[in-house]
Amino acid sequence: MRPTKSILSQIEIANLGSDVTKLNLIAGEWLAGESEIENRNPSDLSDLVGMFAQASADQLDATLDQARTAQAEWEAYGPERKQAVLMNIGNELMSRAEELGTLLAREEGKPKAEGKGEVYRAGQFFTYYAAECLRQIGENADSVRPGVEIDVRREAVGVVAIISPWNFPTATASWKIAPALCYGNAVVWKPANITPASAVALTEIIERQDIPKGLFSLVMGSGRSIGQRLVESPEVNAISFTGSVPVGKGIASAAIQNLTKVQMEMGSKNALAVMDDADLDLAVTLALGGAFGGTGQKCTASSRLVVHAGIHDAFVEKLVAGAQAMKVGHALEEGTQLGPVVSQQQLSENLAYVDLGKSEGAELACGGQRLDMPHDGFYMSPGVFLNTTNDMRINREEMFAPLTSVIKVGSYDEALSVVNDTNFGLTSGIVTQNLARATHFRRNARTGVVTVNLPTAGTDYHVPFGGRGDSSYGPREQGKAAAEFYTTVKTAYISAGTPV
């Protein structure tokens, strides 16, 4: 079935022109590639979003060469000139959030409201780092040697390769690109091939700014070819990656051959602990939003719900009812709470985890099924597993699906132990009205991000983000912490001599 008239109007707003192949930005020029791929709307497979070029190895090499020249020029720009560039990018993203958010929802499948919010937040990353362009203040010290002064400053690391995921195609890329440019680097960006339209739209905004030719490059292509060649290149000084643990480990192995700096955000298995003194309605709301927001396709999703026995039955009753009431639909339809998952491969993996959970003895209380909808897409109902234990694979492995598991515990101490019993360590949360429990949890949960009476998903742009264990490797992202990765420290010793 074709989209309804109201959906068609939104598609027309976001339409990049499906009959024209979208190009890569190579060494400052928009160029066709060695091949092209098609991008289809996961809400309606009959809707072709567009055709997108795939860069060649020679194009990647050429753009890396130009990036080094452009980086030296960009680093010499004054701070106000850099600040204006980043501010312009951020303001345009925020002013076009409706249009670009619709495009994002169309190609990735998240509800339009979430797409719009993502684009607006991406704009805020750029405006934040625009201000940081003017705050790059170093340190001074006196040497232990008489007559010697010390100047400590940060300088650009050089050419940064950015490899970003499909689940937040604009926001995650922006929180890497913005600080990279802020601190004087050149950027070579390889986005996920599943969401190329959002990548082209952001690149067009950046390319129009007052920047040196070749400072920013878009190289769309497969991870096996373009991605691998990029991370193996000795021309790259730093690699920022968000994606899976196996791919991250492969990148680290390649990068170490050139001693390339790496920053990686990878998997997660986040837990929300619900205590017996929790506000029940709040706990259910947080769990539903944390588990199923973005169709569960986010690294901060609440995939384990660790629930105290004293509140377990009442919580489960409301949780299941809430999951069953959630509206699954076309990403551009009003009222849609869960869009489709992003691809057939993702849907197949999700359904395989449903079967796995059942085989492990978990009870599927609701959902977890492929849905027949008016549009041909990758639709799946939100699923809740009950009677699970923390040693089940569905509670050990990242599923990246609209699925969550309830684990019953008998005490706060047991809850904390379960929360920490994972190879990952990105986010965790607790729902409680007990200040002592909240304080103890905040100090003892072994995750990079901890929330109290808030969802595990949702972070601010001006403070550090990252995890422990298999979730993260390298310096933190966002806020002032980003300077640790995107800059290198230079310590200068100065002996001015005696004035005459």
Residue 54, strand partner residues = 35
Active-site residue identified among 265, 333, 398, 477: 265
Q: Residue 272's closest CA among 263, 262, 282?
A: 282
- The answer to whether 82 and 182 have CB atoms below 8 angstroms apart is yes
Structural tokens at position 60? 């990647």
Active-site residue identified among 107, 114, 299, 477: 299
Strand, helix or coil for residue 59: helix
Residue 264, strand partner residues = 241, 473
- DSSP type of residue 34: S
Structural tokens at position 474? 């390298």
**Spatial separation of the C-alpha atoms in residues 442 and 449, rounded to whole Å:** 9
Structural tokens at position 416? 């904390």
**Spatial separation of the C-alpha atoms in residues 289 and 307, rounded to whole Å:** 16
Q: Residue 134's closest CA among 93, 89, 182, 90?
A: 182
**Spatial separation of the C-alpha atoms in residues 317 and 387, rounded to whole Å:** 13
265 has catalytic annotation: yes
**Spatial separation of the C-alpha atoms in residues 472 and 198, rounded to whole Å:** 25
Give the β-pairing of 148-156 and 487-495: antiparallel
Cite the beta strand spans of 382-446 per DSSP E: 383-386, 403-409, 427-431
Structural tokens at position 66? 């130009």
Q: Residue 162's closest CA among 189, 183, 194?
A: 189
Q: 214 burial class (0-12, 13-18, 19+ CB within 10 angstroms)?
A: buried
Strand, helix or coil for residue 219: coil
The interaxial angle of helices 171-182 and 79-95, nearest 10 deg, is 170
Q: Residue 342's closest CA among 224, 461, 198?
A: 198
- What lies within 8 Å, CB to CB, of 9 at 6+ separation is none
3-state DSSP percent of the chain in helix, strand and coil, to 5: 40, 25, 35
Q: Residue 319's closest CA among 272, 359, 353, 352?
A: 272
- What lies within 8 Å, CB to CB, of 457 at 6+ separation is 270, 289, 290, 293, 294, 298, 300, 301, 302, 427
Half-sphere exposure of residue 372: CA atoms within 13 angstroms, side-chain side: 0
Catalytic residues: 265, 299
